[in-house]
Chain A
Amino acid sequence: MKKKVLAVLLSGCMAAGLLAGCGGKKEEASDKSADTKTEDTKEGSDKGGDYNFEVVVKSFQSSYWQAAVQGIKQAEEELGVKTNTTGPNAESDIADQVNMLNNAINKNPDGIALSACDQNSVLDSLQSALDKKIPVVCFDSGVPDAPEGSVYATVVTNNGAAGAIAADHIYETVKDKIANAKKPVRVGEVNQDATSANITERGLGFINRFKELAEKDGKKVAVIGNDYFVGKVENNGDEKSADVIIEVAVPAQTTVELCATEASNIMNKDDTIAMFGSNQVSAEGVLTANQNLSVLGSDPEKNIIAAGFDAGKTIKAAVKDGTLLGAVTQSPLMQGKLSIETLYKICQGETVEDIETDGYWYDSTNMEEADISPNLYD
Chain B
Amino acid sequence: MANNTTKTAGRNRSVIDRLGGQKFIVLLVVIALFIFFCALSPNFRKYTTFLSILDYSYYITLMAIGVAFPLMTAGVDLSIGTGLICYSLVGGYLITFQGWPTWAGILASIVFGMAIGVLNGCLVALMDLPPFLATLCTCMITRGLGSIIVGRVGISWPAAGTEGGWFRSIFKIQMNGMNIPIGFLWIIIIVIIMTFVLNHTKIGRYTLAIGSNKEATRLSGVNVKFYHIFAYVISGFFAGLAAISYSAIFATVQPGSGAGFELEAIGGAIIGGVSMSGGAGSITGTLAGVFVICLLKTGLPFIGLAANWQQIITGLVLIAAVLVDILKRKKDQA
Q: How far is the CA of A288 from the CA of B156 in the complex (A)?
A: 13
Given A261-B301, A264-B49, answer yes or no on A24-B144 (Cβ-Cβ < 8 Å). yes
Asked if B154 and A265 sit within 8 Å, CB to CB, the answer is no
Asked if A59 and B256 sit within 8 Å, CB to CB, the answer is yes
The reply on A41 being an interface residue by CB < 8 A is: no
The reply on A60 being an interface residue by CB < 8 A is: yes
Could you mark each residue 238-270 of chain A with 1 if its beta carbon is under 8 Å from any beta carbon of chain B, else 0? 000000000001111101111011101100110
Q: Nearest CB to that of B130 among chain A residues? A: A6
Asked if B153 and A317 sit within 8 Å, CB to CB, the answer is no
The reply on B223 being an interface residue by CB < 8 A is: no
CB within 8 Å: A-B pair count = 121
Asked if B254 and A252 sit within 8 Å, CB to CB, the answer is no
Question: Of residues B127, B140, B159, B311, which shows the largest number of chain A Cβ atoms within 10 Å of its Cβ?
Answer: B127
Asked if B143 and A89 sit within 8 Å, CB to CB, the answer is yes
The reply on A351 being an interface residue by CB < 8 A is: no
Given A66-B153, A261-B301, A268-B43, answer yes or no on A292-B141 (Cβ-Cβ < 8 Å). no
Residues of chain A lying within 8 A (CB to CB) of residue B51 = 292
Chain A 298-315 interface residues, beta-carbon cutoff 8 Å to B: 312-314
Q: How far is the CA of A308 from the CA of B49 in the complex (A)?
A: 22
The reply on B329 being an interface residue by CB < 8 A is: no
The reply on A52 being an interface residue by CB < 8 A is: no
Could you mark each residue 4-37 of chain A with 1 if its beta carbon is under 8 Å from any beta carbon of chain B, else 0? 0110011001000100110010000000000000
Q: How far is the CA of A154 from the CA of B129 in the complex (A)?
A: 49
Given A89-B259, A261-B301, A288-B250, answer yes or no on A252-B49 (Cβ-Cβ < 8 Å). no
The reply on B64 being an interface residue by CB < 8 A is: no
Q: Nearest CB to that of B160 among chain A residues? A: A291
Given A59-B256, A63-B154, A268-B48, answer yes or no on A287-B251 (Cβ-Cβ < 8 Å). yes
Residues of chain A lying within 8 A (CB to CB) of residue B143 = 89
Given A17-B137, A62-B154, A252-B310, answer yes or no on A269-B252 (Cβ-Cβ < 8 Å). no
Asked if A288 and B249 sit within 8 Å, CB to CB, the answer is yes
The reply on B133 being an interface residue by CB < 8 A is: yes
Given A289-B52, A314-B159, answer yes or no on A256-B252 (Cβ-Cβ < 8 Å). yes
Q: How far is the CA of A226 from the CA of B127 in the complex (A)?
A: 50
The reply on A201 being an interface residue by CB < 8 A is: no
Given A10-B133, A89-B257, A313-B156, answer yes or no on A262-B46 (Cβ-Cβ < 8 Å). no
Which listed residue, B46, B52, B172, touches A261 by the CB 8 Å rule?
A: B52
Chain B 129-148 interface residues, beta-carbon cutoff 8 Å to A: 129, 133, 137, 140-141, 143-144, 147-148
Q: How far is the CA of A226 from the CA of B308 in the complex (A)?
A: 11
Asked if A313 and B252 sit within 8 Å, CB to CB, the answer is yes
Asked if A61 and B254 sit within 8 Å, CB to CB, the answer is yes
| Chain B min CB distance to A157 (Å) | 20
Residues of chain A lying within 8 A (CB to CB) of residue B52 = 260-261, 264, 289, 292
Asked if A60 and B152 sit within 8 Å, CB to CB, the answer is yes
| Chain B min CB distance to A359 (Å) | 21
Residues of chain B lying within 8 A (CB to CB) of residue A249 = 301
The reply on A2 being an interface residue by CB < 8 A is: yes
Could you mark each residue 74-94 of chain A with 1 if its beta carbon is under 8 Å from any beta carbon of chain B, else 0? 000000000000001110000
Residues of chain A lying within 8 A (CB to CB) of residue B148 = 24
The reply on B179 being an interface residue by CB < 8 A is: yes
Asked if B257 and A284 sit within 8 Å, CB to CB, the answer is no
The reply on B214 being an interface residue by CB < 8 A is: no
Which listed residue, A252, A268, A292, touches B307 by the CB 8 Å rule?
A: A252
Asked if B310 and A268 sit within 8 Å, CB to CB, the answer is no
Q: Nearest CB to that of A92 among chain B residues? A: B257
Sample 28 A-B pairs with CB under 8 A, ordered by A number. Answer: A6-B128, A13-B123, A13-B137, A17-B137, A20-B141, A59-B256, A60-B255, A63-B154, A66-B153, A88-B256, A89-B255, A90-B256, A90-B257, A226-B306, A227-B306, A249-B301, A256-B252, A256-B254, A257-B250, A284-B252, A288-B250, A289-B52, A291-B55, A292-B52, A312-B156, A313-B251, A313-B252, A378-B153
The 7 A-B residue pairs with the shortest CB-CB distance, nearest first, are A89-B256, A252-B307, A268-B43, A60-B152, A314-B251, A292-B51, A313-B156
Interface residues of B (CB under 8 A from A): 43, 46, 48-49, 51-52, 55-56, 123, 127-129, 133, 137, 140-141, 143-144, 147-148, 152-154, 156, 159, 172, 179, 249-252, 254-257, 259-260, 297-298, 301-302, 306-308, 310-311
Knowing that A5-B128, A21-B144, A257-B56 touch, tell me 15 more A-B residue pairs with CB under 8 angstroms. A6-B128, A17-B141, A60-B152, A89-B256, A249-B301, A252-B307, A256-B251, A256-B252, A262-B301, A264-B52, A281-B254, A284-B250, A288-B249, A313-B159, A378-B156
